[in-house]
Amino acid sequence: MVTLEDTLALAERLHGAHPQRELVLRLIRNTGVRTRHIVLPLEETLRQPGFEQRNAIYGREARRRVPSVVEGALRKAGLRPADIDAIVWVSCTGFTMPSPTAWLINTMGFRFDTRQLPIAQLGCAAGAAAINRAHDFCRAHPGSSALIVACEFCSLCYQPDDHDVGSLLSDGLFGDAVAAAVVRGEGGTGVELEEDAAYLIPGTEEWISYAVKSTGFHFRLDRRVPGTMEPLAPVLDRVAGGHGWDAADLDVYIIHAGGPRILNDLARFLAIDPGTFRHSRATLTDYGNIASAVVLDGLRRVFADGGARSGARTMIAGFGPGITAEITLGTWTAPAGEGP
């Protein structure tokens, strides 16, 4: 685990002579991130080698860490691997071919006719996109079930020679995580998915990107990205309105926690209490920005809090490169005998 104090001390040690040192330290403090988890020891992470070894670490650590998370998700859904009809794998921090879905099918008891849907280039939006694609699949194949796996090792993208402010901020913001969830075509509890939508802000294609080099993925973040909630808030409002809901008056919000300004601005533009995003803020505080896994952890936190009442109107939204928004609307279904 890496604490905020660890991060600040590291920034001082490695970048104490940076011309914008005070700005960098202030930005890191203001992320709201208190702790993060990384797959390698910190000093080993700082010695990151070239692309080949980074990718080998990604594959090795995915195989070590994903199975137990998948088993937990299936157990909570009351399903076996053989009950799953599709696997949606999302990740933007490593690459393998075939997809890790093939390894899961071969080693964990999934059927050999299980559909595979790996998504690699939607970044932080991919968690919500995975929910939407799983929803699409279950609507197209009534009675089926889909497994979602998000595997993000953001620390493998650390680049010791990238000293721009955006890169240094990212070094203090992103964390590693594995998350999984099940979308059931029939039965189960949680969010009954009803509507999904996507939107790309025109002209923002270069705002979040990777420069792919022999050293690996070099994350590029435009300074205008934190301001994207102003054009996206009306989109969320419009999607909710098309479903007969008011985006400012829902019961549960699971929003991508890219940083505190994203959450604060969205609350302001939707005219809702910033505390409404408490589950997303808790993810940011405890784990940092864990990319596609953020919305899945937010859902986990709602379950850990005892879930929501039956009928609770829920919005899930992820934001990522493009600039892309993936939006899901649904109504909470509590176990029999619970809720009002």
Which tens digit of pLDDT belongs to each residue from 151-181?
A: 999 999 998 888 888 888 888 899 999 999 9
pLDDT in the model for residue 169: 84
pLDDT in the model for residue 165: 85
pLDDT in the model for residue 28: 86
Burial 84-101 (b: 16+ CB within 10 A, else e): bbbbbbbbbbbbbeebbb
322: left (phi over 0), alpha (psi -120 to 50) or beta: left
Measured at the CA of 274, the angle between CA 166 and CA 285, to 5 degrees, comes to 50
pLDDT in the model for residue 339: 41
Residue 265 has pLDDT above 90, yes or no: yes
Q: According to the 3-state scheme, what is the secondary structure of 78-120? A: CCCHHHCCEEEEECCCCCCCCCHHHHHHHHHCCCCCCEEEEEC
pLDDT in the model for residue 258: 87
Q: What is the pLDDT confidence band of residue 340, given thresholds at 50, 70 and 90?
A: very low
Which tens digit of pLDDT belongs to each residue from 324-339?
A: 999 999 999 976 444 4
d(CA 32, CA 34): 6
Which tens digit of pLDDT belongs to each residue from 205-215?
A: 999 999 998 88
Provide the mean pLDDT of the chain. 93
d(CA 93, CA 288): 15
d(CA 11, CA 21): 8
d(CA 253, CA 243): 16
Which residues contact residue 36 at a Cβ distance below 8 angstroms, ignoring those fewer than 6 apart? 1, 2, 7, 174, 175, 176, 287, 288
Which tens digit of pLDDT belongs to each residue from 65-98?
A: 999 999 999 999 999 999 999 999 999 999 999 9
d(CA 113, CA 103): 14
Which residue intervals of 247-293 are DSSP H helices? 260-270, 278-287
Which residues contact residue 220 at a Cβ distance below 8 angstroms, ignoring those fewer than 6 apart? 166, 206, 208, 209, 210, 211
d(CA 154, CA 174): 6
Share of the chain above pLDDT 90, in %: 74
The residue extents of the domains of the chain are 2-184, 190-333
- What secondary structure letter does DSSP report for 311? T
Q: Which DSSP string do the residues of 56-70 spell out, in sequence order?
A: HHHHHHHHHHHHHHH
Which tens digit of pLDDT belongs to each residue from 214-259?
A: 888 999 988 899 899 999 999 999 999 999 999 999 999 999 988 8
CB-count burial class (<10 Å; 0-12, 13-18, 19+) for 59 = middle
The CATH code for residues 190-333 is 3.40.47.10
pLDDT in the model for residue 15: 81
Task: Please tell me if the domain spanning 2-184 has the same topology as the one spanning 190-333.
Answer: yes
Residue 105 has pLDDT above 90, yes or no: yes
Cβ–Cβ under 8 Å, residues 251 and 313: yes
Cβ–Cβ under 8 Å, residues 262 and 283: no
- Lookup result for tokens 């909570």: 76
The catalytic residue positions are 124
What would be the CATH architecture of the domain defined by 2-184? 3-Layer(aba) Sandwich (3.40)
Q: Strands, DSSP E only, in the chain?
A: 2-3, 35-36, 86-90, 115-119, 145-153, 176-184, 190-200, 208-213, 216-221, 252-255, 313-320, 324-333
Report which of 314, 309, 285, 282 is spatially closest to residue 298, judged by C-alpha positions: 282
pLDDT in the model for residue 244: 97
